[in-house]
């Protein structure tokens, strides 16, 4: 970008049918010490050809020209992604028309009677244009960074779930099988030994092994619950029943139907959201009840987990290390959804997951199209 104060030459295209006005503009810029090349055109086809084949730093345009107006020229320039500032320099334009032109994107306007201000108007237009380009570049870079972060988050979530599934299989196939086999052996020893002390030790060992087997099963279920194969409704019912059994807090589940058909990745996001929400409630909320609603109405999967507990203070939600909520929000984004959290201290918390569902004609994410 060439600025008005740089040593480089400004290339200016002047759309003007009056040679005298063109020369006046050139003299004004020269007296101001502006280093520029000023090229005049007076027809729309020539203007369109030049702006399509060459680049300019500034475009000056009279408003009314034979057979067209500056707005016709602007509509051609505005289609280009990196168009230069477009300034109206006219003696035949009212203020209302000039304001309307600026609403369309024209950088500025100046009456020919006040042409001595042209260098200042050009300098300001270049400054604003450069600032806008910098802002657009920053926005573009931020969008690219956010997209890459979202892709990384999705990759990490997928990797985590794959690793969880792998660990769950190993627990089931190796650890669970080995513990069961040892328990049978210990039980056999207890049945066939005659010493009372040995029988008591065998019984105690069998109880500990049974506890270990139960623990391994719970860990395996948390890592990759087989109940997900029965569908989201059954999985959330299992979560709610387990939460009520562990905490004693009445937990009610309301669903729009007994079976909700969604893709595996959306199902897993909804399940993990419900799991994390119930875990947070158990740790922090101290509620009297929990209500869970699950619906696939109007093409949107909606999961709401609400409690009437302590609520979340605003400063707690904004803590730098509040990774639980941030993780749920990022997880929702991986399937094109979003997470809403509503909470007031002493009045409970509501966590709502919303995920748009594909229409029946669209391939489902996670399935093979």
Instruction: Mark whether 25 and 72 lie in a shared domain.
Output: yes
Least Cα distance to 87 among 98, 76, 72 occurs for 98
Identify the band that residue 87 occupies on the pLDDT scale cut at 50, 70 and 90: very high
Residue 12 CB neighbour total at 10 angstroms? 22
Q: Does the structure show a pLDDT above 50 at 369? A: no
- Do 201 and 242 fall into the same domain? no
Q: Do 126 and 183 fall within a single domain?
A: no
Both 204 and 298 in one domain: the answer is no
State the pLDDT at residue 320. Answer: 55
Task: Provide the mean pLDDT of the chain.
Answer: 86
Res. 169: pLDDT tops 50: yes
**Looking at the structure, do residues 242 and 346 belong to the same domain, yes or no?**
yes
101 assigned to some structural domain: yes
| Residue 17 falls inside a structural domain | yes
pLDDT over 60 at 1, yes or no: no
Mean pLDDT of 186-199: 86
Q: Which residues pair with 41 in a beta bridge?
A: 15
Task: Report pLDDT for 28.
Answer: 92
Q: Averaged over 74-86, what is the pLDDT?
A: 90
How far is it, in rounded angstroms, from Cα 5 to Cα 196?
A: 101
All residues at 6 or more sequence positions from 339 whose CB lies less than 8 Å from its CB, including other chains: 273, 325, 328, 329, 332, 351, 352, 353, 354
- Report the pLDDT value the prediction gives residue 191, as an integer from 0 to 100: 87
Length of the chain: 369
Asked if the model's pLDDT at residue 97 lies above 90, the reply is no
Residue 262: domain span: 227-356
CB atoms within 10 A of CB 128: 13
| Residue range 218-249, pLDDT digits in tens | 787 777 777 788 899 999 999 999 999 999 99
Question: What is the per-residue pLDDT across 42-64, written as a single tens digit (0 to 9) for each?
Answer: 999 999 999 999 999 999 999 88
Q: How far apart are CA 224 and CA 211, in angstroms?
A: 20
For residue 191 the two structure tokens come to 């049945």
The H or E element that residue 339 is part of is: strand 338-344
Is the predicted pLDDT of residue 294 greater than 90, yes or no? Answer: yes
Separation of alpha carbons 70 and 247, rounded Å: 73
**Residue 362 located in a structural domain:** no
Write down the pLDDT at residue 368. 36
Residues 254 and 177 both lie in one domain: no
On whether residue 95 sits in a domain, the answer given is yes
Least-confidence region, from 90-104, 231-245, 314-328: 314-328
**179 lies in the same domain as 196:** yes
Give Cα separations from 156 to 163, 197, 268, 348 (angstroms): 10, 52, 14, 31
Which of these three, 180, 198, 223, is where a domain ends? 223
What does the pLDDT look like over 5-39, one tens digit per residue? 556 789 999 999 999 999 999 999 999 888 889 99
Reduced to 3 states, what is the DSSP secondary structure of residue 43? coil
| Contacts of residue 274, Cβ cutoff 8 Å, sequence gap at least 6 | 236, 239, 292, 303, 305
Query: Tokens at residue 111, please?
Result: 């009456």
Residues 15, 133, single domain; the answer is: yes
Total number of domains in the chain: 3
Same domain for 269 and 243: yes
88 and 39 co-located in one domain: yes
Among 97-111, 142-156, 272-286, the range with the most confident prediction by mean pLDDT is 272-286
Closest of 117, 109, 103, 118 to residue 63, by C-alpha: 109
pTM recorded for the entire structure: 0.55
CA atoms of 354 and 294, how far apart (whole Å) = 10
Q: Which of 43-47, 93-97, 200-204 has the highest mean pLDDT?
A: 43-47
Which residue is it, tokens 């993780």?
327
Comparing 358 with 56, the larger pLDDT belongs to 56
> Are residues 161 and 42 part of one domain?
no
């Amino acid at each position: 970008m060439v600025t008005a104060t740089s040593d480089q030459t400004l290339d200016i295209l002047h759309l003007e049918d009056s040679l005298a006005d063109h020369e006046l503009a050139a003299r004004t810029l020269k007296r101001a010490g502006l280093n520029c090349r000023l090229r005049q055109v007076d027809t729309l086809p020539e203007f369109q050809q030049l702006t399509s084949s060459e680049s300019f730093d500034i475009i000056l345009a009279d408003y009314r020209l034979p057979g067209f107006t500056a707005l016709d020229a602007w509509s051609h320039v505005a289609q280009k992604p990196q168009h230069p500032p477009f300034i109206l320099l006219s003696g035949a334009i009212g203020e209302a028309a000039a304001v309307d032109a600026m609403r369309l994107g024209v950088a500025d306007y100046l009456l020919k009677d006040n042409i001595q201000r042209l260098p200042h108007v050009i300098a300001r237009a270049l400054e604003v244009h450069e600032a806008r380009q910098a802002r657009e570049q920053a926005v573009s870079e931020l969008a690219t960074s956010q997209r890459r972060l979202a892709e990384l988050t999705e990759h990490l979530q997928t990797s985590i779930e794959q690793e969880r599934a792998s660990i769950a299989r190993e627990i089931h196939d190796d650890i669970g099988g080995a513990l069961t086999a040892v328990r049978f052996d210990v039980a056999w020893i207890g049945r066939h030994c005659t010493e009372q002390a040995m029988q008591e030790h065998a019984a105690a060992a069998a109880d500990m092994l049974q506890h270990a087997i139960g623990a391994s099963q719970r860990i395996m279920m948390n890592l990759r619950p087989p109940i997900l194969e029965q569908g989201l409704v059954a999985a959330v019912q299992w979560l709610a029943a387990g939460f009520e059994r562990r905490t004693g807090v009445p937990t009610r589940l309301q669903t729009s139907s007994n079976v909700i058909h969604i893709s595996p990745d959306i199902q897993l996001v909804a399940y993990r959201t419900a799991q994390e929400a119930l875990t947070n409630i158990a740790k922090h909320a101290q509620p009297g009840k929990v209500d869970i609603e699950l619906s696939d109405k109007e093409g949107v999967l909606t999961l709401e987990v609400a409690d009437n507990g302590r609520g979340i203070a605003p400063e707690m939600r904004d803590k730098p290390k509040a990774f639980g909520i941030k993780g749920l929000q990022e997880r929702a984004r991986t399937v094109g959804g979003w997470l809403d959290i509503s909470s007031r201290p002493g009045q409970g918390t509501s966590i709502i997951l919303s995920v748009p569902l594909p229409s029946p004609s669209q391939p489902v994410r996670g399935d093979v199209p």
